[in-house]
Structure 1
Amino acid sequence: MARKMWMRGTVAALSATALLALGACSSEQAPAAEGEETTSDDGGETEEAGDELISIGFSQVGAESGWRAANTKSIQDTLTADNGFDLSFSDAQQKQENQIQAIRSYIAQGVDVISFSPVVETGWGPVLEEAKAADIPVILTDRAVDTEDDTLYESFIGSDFVLEGEMAGEWAVEQYDGEGYQMVELQGTTGSAPAIDRKEGFADAIAGSDIEVIDSQTGNFTRTEGKQVMEGFLQKYDEIDLVFAHNDDMGLGAIEAIEAAGMTPGEDIKIITIDAVKDGMQALADGKINYIVECNPLLGPDLAEVAQKVVAGEEVEKRIVVEDKTFDQEAAVEALPSREY
């Protein structure tokens, strides 16, 4: 695979402590210290088969939402031995330090490819430099990193988060401009690319309208925190007309808080979300959410294709944008029966 094995050996020796440290990251990661969760067609791999497979280490953000669960499933279902891969998978539990430890462990193992979905945008320079020094290509999925040196990664596969925010905001203006709506915003994880970009896109789209953003707080992309933040908004403000949630799970949490307050979500308070996972789509079909912008989580096939090309020494696109759709109630009803996630 045209890999510099002597360099890997040197880096592996220097990174041995990082490999040992990974087992202490979390209870979920402890079993993975001996090689993470390795996917193969028969639950284990022979030495001969392993030599022919593309070894790839993947560090996932966590399991904070239905979107993330669908994204993980797509990756694990695609990067199998049957498809030519030996996958080592780790869950960072939404902690950057866990991801950095995982990446260093993959460097120590000498995998062919490293891939991850960054918890936040900043702070990746040193570990990506280590991967580059080890001649191990890095592929970003879902979220980008903030770096001026784009040689630190081969490709970034994911949605255009700014565009998602713009599509949500444009619909809000089409439907509600002129009504004097007061809006609250449930932001994603502070510092993460989707939170930053969706907020920017939505704000740009509603600029010049009479939709007023009266408060904006992070719900950390989780249903529980979305509910808690919405409860606080309802206690703080006498009038809320519209909620913009950066993902479905926070929107679903907001629904719980609105219903507990004796109001009807989708009617008394309108709700716009991003993701379009099944739970969110069902709430949209039921009229509890008013509009959803899709963020496609099925990135496994794209990741597999890019990894194969990179290992083969082929050129790949630096930015691969996933196509996203939009859904109103009628479209959700039509799409649900065949929805994959």
Structure 2
Amino acid sequence: MTPHVRTAALALAVLLTASACAKAEEPQTAPAAASTAGRQVVQSPSGTAGPTCTLQQFGGTKFDLKTATVGFSQSEKEANPFRIAETKSIKDEAAKLGITNLKVTNAQSQFSKQITDVQQLIAQGVRLLVIAPLNSDGWEPVLQQAAAKKIPIITVDRKINARACSDYLTFIGSDFYEQGKRAADRMIDAVSGKGKVAILLGAPGNNVTTERTNGFKDRVKEKAPGITISFEQTGEFAREKGQQVTEQLIQSNPDINGIYAENDEMALGAVTALKGAGKEPGTIKIVSVDGTRSAVQGIADGWLHAVIESNPRFGPLAFETAQKFLDGQSIPDKVIISDRDYDTSNAKSSLGEAY
């Protein structure tokens, strides 16, 4: 090898080595994004800050989450993808954090059983309770027992009607009124601001149904006086019930233009009813709330117009909030998360991120 060739080869080797090192030092954004896909994101606080709570104010004592007994009370049967994803998120995060004594109960959509479930968890010595409430009212017996033992309660996905920082610690979930408004915006667009729209109401007795309904109606009244809400009936957040109600709807209101379903399961039940009636995809515009994979697929298939997400992956945020509380940080009375939208522009590409 001549001196010139040797010099050129050495320069090339140095260049390749430097390039490889540079690539190794580049941030690996793709794996990081994949690891956090679907994780809940807290909305940036705006306006006047609400009440906060510290461990000292609450009156409890610090304990180690890893060795403490922690209870999670699920409210509904896990036939609903939202509930499946919610429970899985709690279990997965507990395992990730090394929490060795997580007790999980399921009330099977019976409120009296949920009260009994939580009372039994308290009797078993839990130090922290994470509760997905079936109803917003009727929690007084549980709250009194938990308060007597200074057990912090974090409610997820639905609120309870009680006092933060005394009866319970905080609520983590979506802005349900805003979800209703966003669903209304999508419906207004779908029916060009006029026509007859039906509402498949969620289960009565909880804040989710009330706020999603009020947000939708207020927005329609504000922006689309040409839309008439001509039918309202509860589908109890269930697919079978949503189908039954929609079958009644298309008999009593054959000229209906749109259906607002307050969760995806009812929307999918509505699709089954429309198929059974010989309707073509998109002839009746459906907007729903949740973000299940089946509903997002329904957009891709033309049956649903849009879906407003309600993210059920509460595990990381619930335990992060609990740890901050135990570390002496101030916890807000509510932790509101950001939710995305699905429509024809992103349904196919985002299907893998739905639950």
TM-score grouping bracket, smaller chain normalisation: 0.7 to 0.9
Q: Distance in 1 between matches of 2:100 and 2:197?
A: 46
Q: Distance in 2 between matches of 1:91 and 1:108?
A: 17
Are 1:58 and 2:72 matched, yes or no?
Answer: yes
Superimposed CA distance per residue, residues 249-299 of structure 1 (whole angstroms, 9 cap, x where no aligned partner): 100000000010010132x11100001110110011111100110101111
Q: Distance in 1 between matches of 2:182 and 2:157?
A: 18
| Letter of the 1:91 counterpart | N
Are 1:196 and 2:210 matched, yes or no?
Answer: yes
The alpha carbon displacement at 1:315 in A equals 2.5
Superimposed CA distance per residue, residues 134-185 of structure 1 (whole angstroms, 9 cap, x where no aligned partner): 111111111001125652111111111111001011222234244x311111
Call closer, same or farther: CA 1:326–1:81 in 2, change over 3 Å: closer
Q: For this pair of structures, how many residues does the alignment match?
A: 293
Q: Distance in 2 between matches of 1:271 and 1:146?
A: 31
Call closer, same or farther: CA 1:316–1:263 in 2, change over 3 Å: same
Structure 2 equivalent of residue 334 of structure 1: 349
Higher relative contact order (CA 8 A, sep 6+): 2
Q: Which structure has the bigger radius of gyration? A: 2
Call closer, same or farther: CA 1:218–1:82 in 2, change over 3 Å: same
Q: Distance in 2 between matches of 1:52 and 1:261?
A: 54
**Local SS of the residue matching 1:74:** helix
The alpha carbon displacement at 1:88 in A equals 0.4
Are 1:245 and 2:280 matched, yes or no?
Answer: no
The alpha carbon displacement at 1:187 in A equals 0.9
Q: TM-score, normalised by structure 1?
A: 0.81
Q: Distance in 1 between matches of 2:284 and 2:65?
A: 57
Moved more, 110-119 or 304-313: 304-313
Structure 2 equivalent of residue 104 of structure 1: 119
**Local SS of the residue matching 1:170:** helix
Call closer, same or farther: CA 1:51–1:195 in 2, change over 3 Å: closer
Q: TM-score, normalised by structure 2?
A: 0.78
Call closer, same or farther: CA 1:196–1:332 in 2, change over 3 Å: same
Moved more, 306-315 or 58-67: 306-315
Q: Distance in 2 between matches of 1:340 and 1:74?
A: 14
Q: Distance in 2 between matches of 1:238 and 1:155?
A: 45
Structure 2 equivalent of residue 216 of structure 1: 232
Identity %: 33
Structure 1 equivalent of residue 173 of structure 2: 158
Unaligned runs of 5+ in 2: 1-54
Structure 2 equivalent of residue 265 of structure 1: 281
Q: Distance in 2 between matches of 1:54 and 1:279?
A: 37
Call closer, same or farther: CA 1:52–1:219 in 2, change over 3 Å: closer
| Letter of the 2:349 counterpart | E
Structure 1 equivalent of residue 251 of structure 2: 235
Equivalent of 1:141 in 152, 156, 169: 156
Structure 2 equivalent of residue 317 of structure 1: 332
**Local SS of the residue matching 1:302:** helix
Aligned-residue CA RMSD in angstroms? 2.2
Structure 2 equivalent of residue 186 of structure 1: 200
Call closer, same or farther: CA 1:300–1:222 in 2, change over 3 Å: same
The answer as to whether partners of 2:164 and 2:170 remain within 8 angstroms in 1 is no
Unaligned runs of 5+ in 1: 9-49
Are 1:277 and 2:286 matched, yes or no?
Answer: no
Q: Distance in 1 between matches of 2:66 and 2:165?
A: 29
Q: Distance in 2 between matches of 1:278 and 1:288?
A: 14
**Local SS of the residue matching 1:69:** helix
The answer as to whether partners of 1:285 and 1:330 remain within 8 angstroms in 2 is no
Q: Distance in 1 between matches of 2:81 and 2:279?
A: 25
**Local SS of the residue matching 1:59:** strand
The alpha carbon displacement at 1:202 in A equals 0.3
Q: Distance in 2 between matches of 1:226 and 1:255?
A: 9
Moved more, 140-149 or 234-243: 140-149
Q: Distance in 1 between matches of 2:278 and 2:65?
A: 61
Q: Distance in 2 between matches of 1:92 and 1:150?
A: 25
Call closer, same or farther: CA 1:169–1:279 in 2, change over 3 Å: same
The alpha carbon displacement at 1:99 in A equals 1.2
